[in-house]
Structure 1
């Protein structure tokens, strides 16, 4: 037993000794590793550099002499040196107390040139490539630049462009880089097809999207360029179109862009599932927030039971209720619509749920991507600022306003968590687009003046400040017009559109005298609501008359008196109230635009009168599928002196601009020479139906219209004591005129044009008629 115990004791002692030995070795290994990973050097030596200064290398590493470092510092230093783009290889080793940094320098680009490019200028290509003169040469960068150049040509419809590179070596590690470009032919959009659509024909849907089929004017409009991002935007436009017309289940199954092997052009196909059309059912408001006035919220709802379902109406309701809740002291109220479909009667019940949303504040708003537009131009469209309560509805409204400016190709607003749990960061990503415009307008009047033309230069985002500037020159054989207009949309930091107009007009079309008018206007427009605004303006003008003695008959006393009073000055202030809910200014389909304006002339100057005018136009789609649009318009005005009698040229004049089928100044009181004397009172009305022309592609932008006009101009505040014979003055009493006709309307690349053919069906013997008139298309 003792021998066994001794053996066992010996074994235990041997095991303990072995464990102690292993532990000693492990400790030594660990100590050695720690020493290797946490080292200190006294010198940093740079090798392999020829052009880059050694201190530049040392300044881009995290290791310093006399301070400990480990492997993570070496990795970080290597990454920082590679990130400079100056080196193709970097190695860092330690030799005793010296840290050796060995580098292989990249070649330096001496010059970047582009060969074969005509459609895109050098400066445009320089903006898309990363390779720059005196920058590092890197094959990865060059490969990226080749693709970037091809993408630039894609955006102008030249998807077949080929790009190759040529590198020429120079002394001292420098190279010249040449991009050799074969621009190829222009790739067109051969056809745009829709599959699965039953409610709306292809032509109507083509008007919804911004991508257009190629035609003989596409080289001017550039709307027939295939762009994947543009196609995604078109998908969204189609969704909004259907969602706002009752098709709540609408979906796009696919959208494809294929190249026709025979022509090399694009064929775009949208495959749709329209679904059923719904109406609004029961509309309710349910709130879990104490203090919210539910009845007031219900009155703000835009959607109405029985009306065709519209996602836009739901959005407008949410915006109105969110703003009201914030005004009542609940900025975090979250309003969510909940829809319940009734498939049997095809209705959607909507309940607006008002809950207390998560409390979050805006830490900062970060603007990205704007290369031209100033940050403050973007920030001022937000009704939110840093430190305010975050409200997703107000953020979406700001996004819509930014898109409506027309300054950007794309606007995207996203959020990211801030530095605290209740903080968010708003990222506003935009892409600037061209906002300058060169336009040529033309018109023709058979009643005087003949052909007219106007050349205009305008800039909607002047110097990236969001300001509007326009310079226009126009005229005809007998007239000359010069205009300069400027508008600051946020005057003094408020949402006030302030600006000025100055101009000079000359007219020698009248028999016996020439007229020169020089004027200046100061104006400011202030929004009251989204659809209602008010405008205040001051105008000072000087009218000069030059009698050339060529009267066939002596002018009547009112005209001669006005000519003798040359020059005539007018100092007037005007106030207007404007209501506008139309959906599209270029082609309104729904909505009302109305205004009433009163003017007082008498703040100095020679003129002394007060006038009031008003007009209103109502647009309504008569057939959504066939895109037939109806319009009703009315107008009227009255002017009265505040001193002596009115001057003849201060009275109202109307004609072909108001009632087609008549000359300018074609109706109303006249003297024995047939010269218009104007009137103190006028009324007018129009009914019109517009429609797309059959057999013509919608992409041409040509529409037709049938119209009926009526108008009257009567009354006079002139001194007519000289009129002793029955034929001296005619048309003082009220008499209605009427006309019917047809129009051809063209949204041309040179601006909107309209060709009117009017036929008077009710007129006076002394009226002056005109069947054909040619001018701009806007009539509201």
Structure 2
């Protein structure tokens, strides 16, 4: 038999063993049969590829001249050609010894436009779709783009968005494509309800989750936007809340979000099972690590027998033990808590089992979900990188750090098997949240001084780089003005050092006898010592300028009063410019469970400062302050706090300047002006400051009665007390009041609101112990907002 006849017989066998299927687009697809006889061709002919080019078609074929092929190769070639997106029809046939590939080309996209969109800008939608100008018109890709646009609108709470397309032929095989969008109304959340909760009411549970019911101001916060991911995150939040408050058996039975299409609103229901509340039973630490006994690690345990079960304390203990064992030369150490549950008396004994763990290494760290924050900002919070030893304790610490940044609504760190048994892939899923804020602080001073106001704007994650920047300006009575600019780089030179600067300027007047202005710069760097302890070093240089407000004679004494006392007073602060150059160091301990609404934990700081590196000031100052928060009632959400503070300045040269001394008031003892207490001149009542001070406060906050708790209102009652005393500044014989250690005290009430504009607070305080020369300020208002 001749070769040509053999070839034709083989092709016929292939054709007979294949079935021809017509698709909706009229495309012929050959489905191969396993028993088909192989065939060969001598050439490939391409027809219809005007724009794509013949070589582009040939490169996507699995069939080559001189190489045997079967119907399965035809199938694969057809699939590859369709996958390019350039062809609407593909036909493959055999003609003699040639393979003939006939294609019909898709039209090219000339322009992509979006019509009807107002809530999402064109550039955002263009980044979401895959169809691009000069690309092929591919219906499958366009259908996928329609779904991507819908998903973008669902993410901002518009689930009923409608998306269609229109095309306009512009000739030469090109079309303009328009996505026509009917945005519809915002999809809201009508109700969030809980079923099965006994220990906590719906309001308390609503306040813990991310998703919120729609309200008049929800368009600002966007917290009433439903998404499946947020619902899963809320389930985890509920679990953590119960685990941290004594309910280890808690579980979310189900969570359902039902859309009422008639009102375009979701109704969300969480069905939960709380279980019993437990206390800790016996606590033990057992170690199989050579050279490290359980007794050596017992001092790191934070769980105590008889205390309410708290999953946070278990995690802290695991982190502390893991870090200690790792630092002793066992990087793979594993800490496993084992519970011994007593169902009769509702106690859980915890044994921390410490072993060397299996050797594993980090293959890679994969970051997902960050649309604004840069990858390296997230990666640097891990104490390891690719190739380092894997340690579960480090994962927990990194997750805590990422959550503490305040850049993300959710942080989830998981692991999966790498390319081999000893390789681990760390996956970090995050969701960015707004990190910019503006703030307004205001106060009202009794006695005719009127309102004082400060406005600020800050960004905690500048350009997604994790940098902090703040700009503030203030104004008040007596031509008072203030300006501040702050910047912080949290990882200076690639190290865990927060370096930054503060530039400031302020001016004020005092009873028409002098104008005061202060301006300068502070350079600072903060280094962590532990996860909760850090130290900060600062250098500050500032100039202080005093100018008389009226006419004055050659001796510098103003002539804006006839009495001798006023002339003598001018010598307390000689006209002219002063400079101050100082260095300081602070230690800060922070174990608060939340930086916005703490319920548990301690914040404490100690600072000492020396001025005398040139300039006109020569002193050594020591200050300290601390505030402790404790949840008094979990069920009622009553939070108590106690604050104390104090300081003393030592002169290390001649007499102190007035501006070297402490001034305190309404920030420490509400009900008074900021410099409303302490030593003052008898003639004019100007604050001189003091060499020593102390203060103490007690406060209790609670949900606002008769207001749903998830609205965010809280009430506060408080009592403040303290004193500012002593004076080492020259007085030139002028009488000074208030140098003794006289106690001032006040009581008051406050209202806090976690509003869409940020955390607002209004306080009213009434001084109950004061001196006649003290200056009151009974109302104070503050506000900080995220946008």
Give TM-score scaled by structure 1 length: 0.89
Cα 1:774–1:462 change in 2 (3 A) is: closer
Give the SS at the match of 1:205: helix
Equivalent position of 2:491 in the other structure: 490
Q: Distance in 1 between matches of 2:165 and 2:501?
A: 52
Equivalent position of 2:184 in the other structure: 184
Q: 1:285: how far off?
A: 2.3
Indicate yes or no: 2:635 matched with 1:634. no
Q: Distance in 1 between matches of 2:778 and 2:438?
A: 31
Deviations 1:504-556 (CA, angstroms, capped at 9, x unpaired)? 22224653332222211111111111111111011111122332218567776
Q: Distance in 1 between matches of 2:169 and 2:385?
A: 54
Q: 2:630 aligns with which of 608, 613, 620?
A: 620
Equivalent position of 1:596 in the other structure: 606
CA RMSD of aligned residues (A): 2.9
Deviations 1:226-270 (CA, angstroms, capped at 9, x unpaired)? 222111111111100000111011111121222346633222221
Indicate yes or no: 2:702 matched with 1:691. yes
Q: Distance in 2 between matches of 1:609 and 1:165?
A: 75
Q: 1:448: how far off?
A: 7.0
Q: 1:633: how far off?
A: 0.6
Q: 1:711: how far off?
A: 0.9
After the TM superposition, which of the residue ranges 395-404 and 438-447 deviates more from structure 2? 438-447
Give the SS at the match of 2:607: strand
Indicate yes or no: 2:689 matched with 1:678. yes
Cα 1:341–1:649 change in 2 (3 A) is: same
Q: Distance in 2 between matches of 1:203 and 1:166?
A: 48
Give the SS at the match of 1:127: helix
Equivalent position of 2:529 in the other structure: 528
Equivalent position of 1:768 in the other structure: 775
Q: Distance in 1 between matches of 2:322 and 2:547?
A: 62
Indicate yes or no: 2:567 matched with 1:566. no
Q: Distance in 2 between matches of 1:190 and 1:275?
A: 29
Equivalent position of 2:87 in the other structure: 87
Equivalent position of 2:718 in the other structure: 707
Cα 1:559–1:428 change in 2 (3 A) is: farther
Q: 1:557: how far off?
A: 7.6
Cα 1:68–1:385 change in 2 (3 A) is: farther
Cα 1:438–1:127 change in 2 (3 A) is: farther
- The answer on whether the counterparts of 2:399 and 2:413 sit within 8 Å (CA) in structure 1 is yes
After the TM superposition, which of the residue ranges 695-704 and 301-310 deviates more from structure 2? 695-704
Give the SS at the match of 1:567: strand
Q: Distance in 1 between matches of 2:488 and 2:280?
A: 42
Cα 1:558–1:314 change in 2 (3 A) is: farther
Equivalent position of 2:752 in the other structure: 745
Indicate yes or no: 2:98 matched with 1:115. no
Equivalent position of 2:18 in the other structure: none
Cα 1:746–1:451 change in 2 (3 A) is: farther
Q: Distance in 1 between matches of 2:110 and 2:618?
A: 73
- The answer on whether the counterparts of 2:496 and 2:527 sit within 8 Å (CA) in structure 1 is yes
Cα 1:536–1:39 change in 2 (3 A) is: farther
Indicate yes or no: 2:241 matched with 1:230. no
Q: Distance in 1 between matches of 2:570 and 2:97?
A: 107
Q: 1:106: how far off?
A: 2.0
Q: Distance in 1 between matches of 2:148 and 2:511?
A: 60
Q: 1:579 aligns with which of 580, 589, 595?
A: 589
Cα 1:188–1:417 change in 2 (3 A) is: closer
Q: 1:72: how far off?
A: 6.4
Give TM-score scaled by structure 2 length: 0.89
Equivalent position of 1:15 in the other structure: none
Q: Distance in 1 between matches of 2:480 and 2:605?
A: 29
- The answer on whether the counterparts of 1:479 and 1:509 sit within 8 Å (CA) in structure 2 is no
After the TM superposition, which of the residue ranges 419-428 and 206-215 deviates more from structure 2? 419-428
Indicate yes or no: 2:763 matched with 1:756. yes
Q: Distance in 1 between matches of 2:48 and 2:346?
A: 78
Q: Distance in 2 between matches of 1:188 and 1:36?
A: 60
Cα 1:57–1:292 change in 2 (3 A) is: farther
Indicate yes or no: 2:401 matched with 1:388. no
- The answer on whether the counterparts of 1:637 and 1:681 sit within 8 Å (CA) in structure 2 is yes
Q: Distance in 1 between matches of 2:43 and 2:503?
A: 73
Cα 1:322–1:144 change in 2 (3 A) is: same
- The answer on whether the counterparts of 1:576 and 1:597 sit within 8 Å (CA) in structure 2 is yes
After the TM superposition, which of the residue ranges 519-528 and 693-702 deviates more from structure 2? 693-702
Equivalent position of 1:14 in the other structure: none
- The answer on whether the counterparts of 2:600 and 2:629 sit within 8 Å (CA) in structure 1 is yes
After the TM superposition, which of the residue ranges 113-122 and 506-515 deviates more from structure 2? 506-515
Q: Distance in 2 between matches of 1:93 and 1:297?
A: 77
The runs of 5 or more residues in structure 2 that have no matched partner are: 1-5, 15-33, 552-559
Deviations 1:285-330 (CA, angstroms, capped at 9, x unpaired)? 2334433322122222221111111111111222222222222222
Q: 1:421: how far off?
A: 3.2
Q: Distance in 2 between matches of 1:50 and 1:256?
A: 54
Give the SS at the match of 2:231: helix
- The answer on whether the counterparts of 2:572 and 2:732 sit within 8 Å (CA) in structure 1 is no
Give the SS at the match of 1:147: helix
Indicate yes or no: 2:101 matched with 1:101. yes
Q: 1:715: how far off?
A: 0.5
Q: Distance in 1 between matches of 2:568 and 2:195?
A: 68
Cα 1:616–1:420 change in 2 (3 A) is: same
Equivalent position of 1:18 in the other structure: none
Q: Distance in 1 between matches of 2:782 and 2:379?
A: 39
After the TM superposition, which of the residue ranges 116-125 and 91-100 deviates more from structure 2? 91-100
Q: Distance in 2 between matches of 1:43 and 1:29?
A: 16
- The answer on whether the counterparts of 1:556 and 1:671 sit within 8 Å (CA) in structure 2 is no
After the TM superposition, which of the residue ranges 247-256 and 392-401 deviates more from structure 2? 392-401
After the TM superposition, which of the residue ranges 138-147 and 687-696 deviates more from structure 2? 138-147
Deviations 1:742-774 (CA, angstroms, capped at 9, x unpaired)? 112223333333222111211122222233222
Indicate yes or no: 2:669 matched with 1:668. no
Q: Distance in 1 between matches of 2:625 and 2:320?
A: 28
Q: Distance in 2 between matches of 1:437 and 1:69?
A: 66
Equivalent position of 1:142 in the other structure: 142
Q: Distance in 2 between matches of 1:201 and 1:414?
A: 32
Deviations 1:388-447 (CA, angstroms, capped at 9, x unpaired)? 122223123223322332334444434343344322333334444443344555444446
- The answer on whether the counterparts of 1:449 and 1:479 sit within 8 Å (CA) in structure 2 is no
After the TM superposition, which of the residue ranges 593-602 and 417-426 deviates more from structure 2? 417-426
Output aligned runs, 1:219-368, within 5 Å: 219-260=219-260, 263-368=263-368
Equivalent position of 2:514 in the other structure: 513
Equivalent position of 2:557 in the other structure: none
- The answer on whether the counterparts of 1:440 and 1:751 sit within 8 Å (CA) in structure 2 is no
Equivalent position of 2:504 in the other structure: 503
Q: Distance in 1 between matches of 2:362 and 2:726?
A: 62
Give the SS at the match of 2:128: coil
After the TM superposition, which of the residue ranges 233-242 and 511-520 deviates more from structure 2? 511-520
The runs of 5 or more residues in structure 1 that have no matched partner are: 1-24
